[in-house]
């Protein structure tokens, strides 16, 4: 297989999910074109590359806004794939009836087809395609066999012209995904020191270790980071509350950006905005608080050098 090169000019990258208070992909309440336009105008001050997680309504609207207003963004488009096998290792439960798994398989085929369609409809805006997200790591609730991921990668490469990847925690790239890696144009890894009980003094060393462990295994392929970030609140579920705060997020963000620019590693910060729809109903659930902005589009401490308070109203 001849890999398709990324060939990207320098620029900072961020994960974007535009769901606001009261909106959620789970109940089909999506950000409007106007809300997405407001978000992208805000993000245009600091970032050039966006990562999207699906190829449904939200992703289509984002691409429509970028195209309509000729915004200077390039997009990594994703596929939101569901479980095709049960996973007893998932701490919050991932035991599915066979009928549900068959339904998920059919939905995954539809989602991959949607991604192919959008990639071909917006070839100037979409620079890369991800066939899935965290679908092979031990704890996932949407596990998909490697053989199916390979099938997705081959299908997407056959019907599109953009480079193809798969976004996953750094651990499965240590051998579990070698057969899949052979079908990809580049490797995408996730690194979260705070989820693994590192404090801010250990964070960047740990991130570099995670990155190097993957890059050294695949010396002939580009390796990028598609998620790295720091939550600002926690109820203690997996992250100790004292270790989740805006100051640590700000320090990690600045260190991460300095390193990624110096090392020339494309790094998508997780994430642009807080997402209250995620996780448990607990308001301190860490999944809700990874944004560099609050859900009200106010900048946190990490962005004090770029944005003034009240910038969401500009």
**What confidence score (pLDDT) does residue 309 get?**
66
Cα distance between residue 185 and residue 182, in whole Å: 8
Q: Kindly report, residue by residue over 130-170, the tens digit of the pLDDT.
A: 999 999 999 999 999 999 999 999 999 999 999 999 999 99
Q: How much is the average pLDDT of 284-311?
A: 91
Cα distance between residue 69 and residue 148, in whole Å: 37
Cα distance between residue 93 and residue 91, in whole Å: 6
Does the pLDDT at position 314 exceed 60? no
Domain boundaries, the chain: 13-313
Cα 18 from chain centroid (whole Å): 13
What is the fold, at CATH topology level, of the domain defined by 13-313?
A: TIM Barrel (3.20.20)
Cα distance between residue 302 and residue 251, in whole Å: 7
**What confidence score (pLDDT) does residue 306 get?**
84
3 or 199, which is more confident?
A: 199
Mean pLDDT of the chain: 96
Cα distance between residue 222 and residue 206, in whole Å: 20
DSSP code of residue 303: G
Does the pLDDT at position 124 exceed 90? yes
Q: Where are the alpha helices (DSSP H) in the chain?
A: 33-43, 57-69, 98-121, 146-159, 178-181, 200-215, 246-263
Structure tokens at 72: 């200077």
Structure tokens at 41: 């105008």
Q: How much is the average pLDDT of 246-256?
A: 98
Does the pLDDT at position 105 exceed 60? yes
**What confidence score (pLDDT) does residue 1 get?**
77
| Cβ partners under 8 Å of residue 97, min gap 6 | none
**What confidence score (pLDDT) does residue 311 get?**
63
Kindly report the length of the chain.
314
* Contact (Cβ atoms closer than 8 angstroms) between residue 256 and residue 228: yes
Q: Kindly report, residue by residue over 21-79, the tens digit of the pLDDT.
A: 999 999 999 999 999 999 999 999 999 999 999 999 999 999 999 999 999 999 999 99
Cα distance between residue 124 and residue 120, in whole Å: 9
Structure tokens at 131: 């066939």
Cα 192 from chain centroid (whole Å): 12
**What confidence score (pLDDT) does residue 310 get?**
65
pTM over the 0.85 mark: yes
Structure tokens at 101: 């798994």
Residue with tokens 């989602």: 111
* Contact (Cβ atoms closer than 8 angstroms) between residue 49 and residue 8: yes
Q: Kindly report, residue by residue over 263-280, the tens digit of the pLDDT.
A: 999 999 999 999 999 999
Cα distance between residue 255 and residue 228, in whole Å: 12
């Amino acid at each position: 297989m001849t890999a398709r090169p990324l060939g990207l000019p320098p620029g900072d990258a961020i994960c974007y999910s535009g769901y606001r208070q009261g909106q959620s992909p789970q109940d089909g309440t999506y950000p409007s074109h106007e809300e997405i336009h407001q978000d992208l105008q805000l993000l245009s001050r600091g970032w050039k590359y966006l990562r999207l997680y699906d190829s449904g309504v939200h992703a289509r609207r984002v691409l429509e806004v970028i195209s309509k207003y000729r915004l200077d963004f390039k997009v990594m488009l994703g596929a939101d794939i569901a479980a095709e096998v049960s996973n007893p290792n998932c701490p919050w439960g991932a035991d599915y009836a066979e009928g549900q798994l068959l339904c998920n398989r059919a939905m995954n085929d539809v989602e991959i087809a949607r991604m192919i369609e959008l990639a071909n409809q917006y070839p100037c805006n979409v620079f890369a395609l991800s066939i899935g997200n965290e679908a092979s790591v031990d704890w996932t609730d949407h596990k998909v066999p490697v053989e199916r991921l390979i099938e997705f990668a081959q299908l997407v490469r056959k019907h599109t012209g953009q480079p193809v990847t798969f976004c996953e925690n750094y651990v499965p790239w240590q051998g579990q995904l070698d057969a899949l890696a052979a079908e990809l144009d580049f490797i995408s890894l996730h690194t979260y020191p705070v989820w693994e009980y590192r404090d801010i003094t250990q964070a960047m060393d740990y991130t570099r270790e995670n990155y190097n462990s993957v890059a050294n295994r695949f010396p002939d392929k580009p390796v990028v980071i598609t998620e790295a970030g720091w939550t600002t609140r926690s109820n203690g579920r997996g992250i100790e509350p004292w270790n989740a705060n805006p100051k640590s997020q700000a320090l990690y963000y600045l260190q991460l950006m300095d390193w990624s620019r110096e090392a020339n590693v494309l790094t998508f910060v997780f994430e642009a905005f807080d997402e209250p729809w995620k996780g448990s109903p607990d308001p301190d659930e860490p999944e809700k608080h990874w944004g560099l902005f609050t859900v009200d589009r106010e900048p946190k401490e990490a962005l004090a050098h770029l944005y003034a308070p009240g910038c969401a109203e500009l």
